[in-house]
Amino acid sequence: MSKLIKVEGYKPLLNPIQTEQGIKQIKDFFQANLSTALRLRRVTAPLFVMRGLGINDDLNGVERPVSFPIKDMGDQVAEVVHSLAKWKRLMLGEYGIKPSYGLYTDMNAIRGDEELDNLHSLYVDQWDWERTMTAEERNLDFLKKIVRCIYSAIRRTEYLVSETFPQIEQFLPEDIHFIHSEELLQMYPDLTPKEREDAICKKYGAVFIMGIGGKLSNGEPHDGRAPDYDDWTTPNSDGYKGLNGDIMIWYPILNRAFELSSMGIRVDKDALLRQLEISGKEERKELFFHKKLLAGELPLSIGGGIGQSRLCMVLLHKAHIGEIQASIWPDDMRKECAAAGMPLI
């Protein structure tokens, strides 16, 4: 339980019934705002996909998906999704969604290899969204525009929560700061990536850290990213590589940086080939998803995931994600959380 953060004197500001009311209010209001701001229509999404098609998100490439054989399909194996990063792009093409419009969905996943702590659970719920774009929009300015739209929707939701529950005070800054992960490394060369995130988020309150996945000048990436959805190798207008990033805030309850969203402009044909080669994953070119992309059968897009439980946790000022969602936790963690004033559902 060494990774469990205990907050001295912590006491939830809302009782269990108020918490459930707050969760519903946040989810209803935020997704309506997100849909309007980005012109997204809601679609139904799968809980699992077939293995071997290249559709499932492999995250950092080491997490094992939950899988099971399908009796009526000759024991072919299905995998519970890690996220819908690539599935959404297939749907943009299948539904014929034009540039400037997109889709969003409720993504539910099981990640059995997560290291459980205040922010990480076996159960992951996100608003997964994807929007069709033009070739002319594949640039840093457009990425920043979309990030600002999402951040504005988060702040509007925070205001609504504070109006409903006056004991919850707003703390998010008006603006979000943009910085490339290489710039961040140069600012804090002696810190680890997580320590750099803490430092920059504490300084600005809300930050979009760009260029996640590619190697930096120290030979290490800021964080891992799969090679076949976010574009982390195309040079941007600031002279750095990468058209993706993470929306992060400084969370005073836990006194640390807190990721709310991972997102980015998606790979085109050239970026996919480049990133598969860099990652040593060139065999993926033979998979269903990758063949369609390389054949030009998928639209250019931008997309990402926004944590539902994480957003509710932040806006309701909770110290543990288990206060927001029902999941499975080790018995000793439940005991420690109860003793620390963090009642897990």
Instruction: Kindly state whether residue 182 falls inside one of the protein's structural domains.
Output: no
pLDDT at 2: 53
Going along the chain, which residue ranges are E strands? 40-42, 48-50, 67-70, 76-80, 102-110, 123-132, 177-180, 206-210, 244-251, 256-265, 301-307
User: Which residues form the domain of 288?
Assistant: 16-138+146-167+259-339
Instruction: HSE, CB side, 13 Å, CA atoms: give it for residue 297.
Output: 11
* CA-wise closest residue to 220 among 178, 272, 185: 185
Instruction: Kindly state whether residue 214 falls inside one of the protein's structural domains.
Output: no
The residues annotated as belonging to the active site are 57, 111, 126, 246, 259, 262
How far is 31 from 309, CA to CA, in rounded Å? 13
Q: Taking the alpha carbons of 290, 296, 298, 302 in that order, is the dihedral positive or negative? A: positive
How does pLDDT run across 309-333, given as a tens digit for each residue? 999 999 999 999 999 998 888 888 8
Q: Is the pTM of this model over 0.85?
A: yes
How does pLDDT run across 125-178, given as a tens digit for each residue? 999 999 999 999 999 999 999 999 999 999 999 999 999 999 999 999 999 999
* Burial class (CB within 10 angstroms; exposed 0-12, middle 13-18, buried 19+) of 73: exposed
Instruction: Kindly state whether residue 102 falls inside one of the protein's structural domains.
Output: yes
pLDDT at 58: 65
Instruction: Kindly state whether residue 175 falls inside one of the protein's structural domains.
Output: no
If phi over 0 gives left and psi between -120 and 50 gives alpha, with beta otherwise, what is residue 75? left
If you write DSSP's letter for every residue of 102-114 in order, what string do you get?
EEEEEEEEE-TT-
Instruction: Kindly state whether residue 194 falls inside one of the protein's structural domains.
Output: no
Residue 258 near residue 306 (C-beta atoms within 8 A): no
Instruction: Kindly state whether residue 312 falls inside one of the protein's structural domains.
Output: yes
| CATH number of the domain enclosing 113 | 3.30.930.10
Instruction: Kindly state whether residue 38 falls inside one of the protein's structural domains.
Output: yes
Give the chain's domain count.
Answer: 1
pLDDT at 62: 64
For the beta sheet containing 67-70, the strands, ordered from the edge strand earlier in sequence to the opposite edge, are: 48-50, 76-80, 67-70
Instruction: Kindly state whether residue 253 falls inside one of the protein's structural domains.
Output: no
Segments of the chain scoring below 70 in pLDDT: 1-2, 58-62
How far is 87 from 81, CA to CA, in rounded Å? 10
